[in-house]
Chain A
């Protein structure tokens, strides 16, 4: 079994107990950021796997919101609080919606894909903002989750939710890492580079894009549920373009080199934002913007390229050493 895991997956499995232990060691505010970034980090992963195919989704908040709202509405209207049911409902809602919208979106690339995904997410934003039963722009609250009949409260509830979030987030990351290395993952890279050739090699680019789109939607919806439950609240901001923009921001900041990158990137962004707001409460966006610009200029392939570049350098040194000795 261990043999089948690659280094990223081993790293993720090692990270899992560490993440859980963190909850007992680090100050509570920081753990909260870790918790919330795992939810949003999953959405960033959804953006990232689409970026591998050259598709920039400027509306990934759509599924983030669909997941959160589907779970929330289940609790609000049917009184269901079971974590696993809420998660399943979130996934199902995203699955159905993305499978349908996929037929439209898979035909578009580049700016057209970006704008169309943005438009779709803003339609949901407009709709939710005007539905009074769902609290309009204020959204509504979610209850504390129960787990197969067990309803913990207070500290225990938080820890349980945190632990489950860690397990699910790591599980999703491993699954997506497998996806990137699967035939469809490779086909996506090929689509980014040259779609004409993909068709001439004998496979449908549309189908691959559709599958990727649905998968990204499902992961984003999981992120939405996992984000909404600890906060206990959902509102239409989840599908506003500023939220979607952040996910794109994270993917660019961290790069598409490795599945771990967007997870770490999300957390870094949260922390940078915390301090940016502290340093200059009114112009904190400028600090984020500067970070973004510097990243694009100096690390066009994202922060992850720092790690791969270092690895390459040491490998090259190793290779050239015997020649230098001759």
Chain B
């Protein structure tokens, strides 16, 4: 396996507050990695830094051997690192298909094109095919603002995958999806992403989903990495249990199913 992304002592300071400190993570090509941590632990800050939305105060981000720290978002996207958002960032007054078409149009243009039509039959077929991959082709002609949150989440993720990125960050893909549907939702998602050998890093609060879908897990706490390793070990780690998961989490199977029903 080759390392595609490596961060070195990444640090983000807002005034006197460290949102992230000494973040050293390396991600292999094609792996699935879960990130856990309570609110404000620095998970999204980490994603924001790698995707160029925030410029790290110090440290370096190495992608395929080159530093990308401080590069603007659009360049990072072109290099093959994409993300989805905790709150879907879509074009709410346009139908799903147009959201996809805009994403595809941008992905395909290298320089500004002024007077040629952006959309043809082939591009529309491609957009439908992408939607079908995420099982949301049926919503193609509906406006985003009329859709349930779960579908919006999938559109958001589908839009992030149009460039076939090498590395995809999913910021809480299952937030806003009901507890009963979470497992199936993630199954659809991970299956769709596995077809293109995209490395996936997802932020998640539901430990069962982390256990089920990511072989490796990173735990954040107050801007630092508390643990990084195989998921089973990380979830057993005493510190992680104390600071991240909390005492109410029990890993006996009967309890966990009960919990899934309750949340």
Q: B-contacting residues of A (Cβ < 8 Å)?
A: 175, 178-179, 181-187, 189-190, 193-194, 196-204, 207-208, 211, 215
Q: Given A189-B91, A201-B159, output 17 extra A-B contacts at Cβ < 8 Å.
A: A178-B114, A181-B117, A181-B119, A182-B113, A183-B105, A183-B118, A186-B102, A187-B106, A193-B93, A193-B94, A196-B89, A197-B91, A199-B77, A200-B51, A201-B77, A201-B106, A211-B112
> Is B117's CB under 8 angstroms from A200's CB?
no
- Measured between beta carbons, the chain A residues less than 8 angstroms from B74 are 199-204
Number of interface residues of B (CB under 8 A): 35
Q: A-contacting residues of B (Cβ < 8 Å)?
A: 51, 72-75, 77-78, 82-83, 89-94, 98, 101-103, 105-107, 109, 112-119, 159-160, 162-163
> Is A178's CB under 8 angstroms from B106's CB?
no
B interface SS class: loop
Closest to A4 in B: B117
> Is B112's CB under 8 angstroms from A208's CB?
yes
Alpha-carbon gap, A269 to B92, bound state (A): 32
> Is B91's CB under 8 angstroms from A193's CB?
yes
Closest to B73 in A: A199
Alpha-carbon gap, A197 to B77, bound state (A): 11
> Is B73's CB under 8 angstroms from A200's CB?
yes
Query: Given that A197-B89, A199-B73, A202-B74 are known contacts, is A187 also in contact with B102, CB under 8 Å in the complex?
Result: yes
> Is B90's CB under 8 angstroms from A197's CB?
yes
- Measured between beta carbons, the chain A residues less than 8 angstroms from B101 are 186
- Measured between beta carbons, the chain A residues less than 8 angstroms from B107 are 201-202
Q: Mind listing 13 A-B residue pairs with CB under 8 Å?
A: A179-B114, A183-B105, A183-B113, A186-B105, A187-B106, A189-B94, A194-B90, A197-B91, A197-B159, A200-B74, A200-B77, A203-B106, A211-B114
- Measured between beta carbons, the chain A residues less than 8 angstroms from B98 are 186
> Is B82's CB under 8 angstroms from A190's CB?
no
